[in-house]
Structure 1
């Protein structure tokens, strides 16, 4: 019990300092095509994103990561320190921004449009985005 409480306090402190919401059950939320800076309280030795096609990570320095939402979905971020101990193990959820998204249905085709302020085809790396 004492260990669980200490682990909970440590996790909360890590994410308060890192600027990530302390409610770890929700994970790290990123909008597709946007980046989010993650500050670590101790230096990272190894950084892993479970599914790199969903989110990408760039290591700016040993205490600063930049997460980028690539496509819709969920994955996880795992960071190890120099001793090989995990210092971060959090889910990542990449979603679309709620405002300005439109789906056009043409027979069997679904086309996503982003309308901010002019409507344009929603793309990821030059590929058009269909139904999730």
Structure 2
């Protein structure tokens, strides 16, 4: 979807979600199946009570469809995934680095960053997550 196409869509038809964040959406009754056009941009998880958890996974826009058991479309929307408000992108020549600056700037894992910067942030984040899981595991 191009920016011009997205600009032609009324705001009521667009679901905005930030990268790496989740948003709850209430669906119409009788929803049995949900479809996300590009799962690299957003993920959707149908929950009991007609709720969907949308998670921004990559920058861009994709479509979202909710179907009933007969395959009838009950809802069609566009999901737009954007960077968080506190995101700062730094260009060093052709190399790109992304930081979350709330309140201090720290590297974040973001598609489009230079591979070395991305990999370094990924290794550090994975190591931290592994350590946190190990410390919280029952003994």
Q: Output the TM-score relative to the length of structure 1.
A: 0.71
Give the structure with the higher percent strand. Answer: 1
Determine the C-alpha separation between the residues in 1 that align with 2:42 and 2:30: 21
| Other-structure match for 2:12 | 24
Flag structure 1 segments of 5+ consecutive residues without an equivalent: 1-21
Moved beyond 4 Å, runs of 4+ = none
Q: Give the Cα separation in 1 of the matches to 2:73 and 2:19.
A: 26
Post-superposition Cα deviations, 1:11-69, rounded to whole Å, max 9, x if no partner, equal xxxxxxxxxxx9434x1000111111111221211110000010001111261111001
Q: How does 1:1-132 map to 2 (within 5 A)?
A: 23-25=11-13, 27-61=14-48, 63-98=50-85, 100-124=86-110, 129-130=112-113
Structure 2 residue runs without a partner (length 5+): 1-9, 115-139
For 1:90 and 1:120, how far apart are their aligned partners in 2? 33
Distance 1:115 1:31 in 2: 15
The alpha-carbon deviation at position 129 of structure 1 amounts to 4.3
Q: Which structure shows the bigger proportion of residues in helix conformation? A: 2
Cα RMSD for the two superposed structures:
2.0
TM-score (norm 2): 0.67
Contact residue 32 and residue 69 of structure 1 kept, 8 A: yes
Q: How many residues matched?
A: 105
| Matched residue SS, 1:112 | strand
Residues 1:115 and 1:24: Cα distance change in structure 2 (over 3 Å): same
- Distance, in Å, in 2 between the alignment partners of 1:76 and 1:35 is 17
C-alpha contact 2:41 2:58 (8 A) present in aligned 1: yes
Structure 1 CA distance for aligned equivalents of residues 88 and 25 of structure 2: 31
